[in-house]
Amino acid sequence: MSTAERLPFLKGHGTENDFVIVPDPDNRLELSAAAVARLCDRRAGIGGDGVLHVVRSAAHPEARSMAADAEWFMDYRNGDGSIAEMCGNGVRVFARYLRHAGLVDAGDLAIATRAGVRRAHIAKAAPASDPRGQGGAEGGITVAMGRALLPDGPDAEVTVSVGGLSWPARNVNMGNPHAVAFVGDLADAGNLFTAPEVRPASVFPDGVNVEFVVERGPRHVAMRVHERGAGETRSCGTGACAVMVAAARRDGLDPAVLGHPVTYTVDVPGGRLTIAELPDGSVEMTGPAVIVGEGTLEPGWLRGALEDGAA
């Protein structure tokens, strides 16, 4: 794609975890880390927690092996430009974009990610609109998030520290790494734009998302999150799934033993998600996804971003 062309983009969010959406079906655009960071800059760019680069699986070298199962690949980038395996809220917004653009119908679809193929369901019925954009003209989206991996042995628990306070945290992998700490007050986590200290660091050589969790009621929790590469965000879909699984195990609830699904409500600063773990170990996340608007980037601005990234 020539930098003389105007680059179309959209802006969307899932429980206020917001993304710049860059449609590029044929993978013609080389998005450097610097270009992604500039797109996500809330003062000098569009602003977002990350970029959803929309590419046909057959056109992307990391996704060609999944093309038979999923036509579209979510090439997800963190707000600092780094590449991530998965983003749960991002998958919902990605699915909403595909429906918005007329590329898929409501119902079931498959989306390729670096963590494998994720299956989504776009509801046809719409909940009532609310002022934060949780509802709107279309229904919620459910994503099959895969199985949570719960390491045993010395890697099962780590220690998370913020401002002189420390808590044990459960190591949960949802295709990307999470450390889940149960705390007495979410305010104890302090300023999460700075990454909490996690020990031993060797457990997470590529960094980790850290969730702080409090009780709200039976099978109902609330969380804050520091996402690696982004800082504190208003929501984290994979983090909410990790929190649900950690909370269920702490509460002695294992769907494989019980023989029926276990469902938790997870409140995030940007809204509410419903997370269910099934007896086979798979996790499903249901929540809203909203397209806020769309436009085009000026060629000169884009050229500068790409050239800075290549320098």
Residue 236: active-site member: yes
The verdict on whether residue 191 carries a ligand-binding annotation is no
Other CB atoms within 10 A of residue 149 CB: 14
Q: How far apart are CA 12 and CA 17, in angstroms?
A: 8
The verdict on whether residue 27 carries a ligand-binding annotation is no
Annotate 108-138 with DSSP letters as a single string. Answer: EEEEEETTEEEEEEE-SS-PPP-TTSSSSSS
176 annotated binding-site participant: yes
Which among 236, 240, 245, 290 is annotated as catalytic?
236
88 marked as part of a ligand binding site: yes
Which residue in this structure is represented by tokens 């699984």?
A: 245
- Cα–Cα nearest to 57, from 43, 71, 68: 71
The reply to whether 173 sits in an annotated binding site is: no
Q: Is 238 annotated as a binding residue?
A: yes
In 3-state terms, what secondary structure has residue 179?
A: strand
Query: Comparing C-alpha atoms, which of 101, 88, 22 is closest to residue 287?
Result: 88
- Of 98, 94, 75, the residue nearest 28 (C-alpha): 75
- In 152-162, which positions are buried (b, 16+ CB within 10 angstroms) versus exposed (e)? eeeeeebebeb
Q: Which of 40, 87, 115, 208 is catalytic?
A: 87
Q: Are 224 and 196 in contact (CB under 8 A)?
A: no
> 21 near 45, Cβ under 8 Å?
no
Consult the annotation and say whether 209 binds a ligand: yes
- Is 252 annotated in a binding site? The answer is no
Which residues are marked as active site? 87, 236
* Feature table: binding site for substrate: 17, 78, 88-89, 176, 209, 227-228, 237-238
* Feature table: binding site: 17, 78, 88-89, 176, 209, 227-228, 237-238
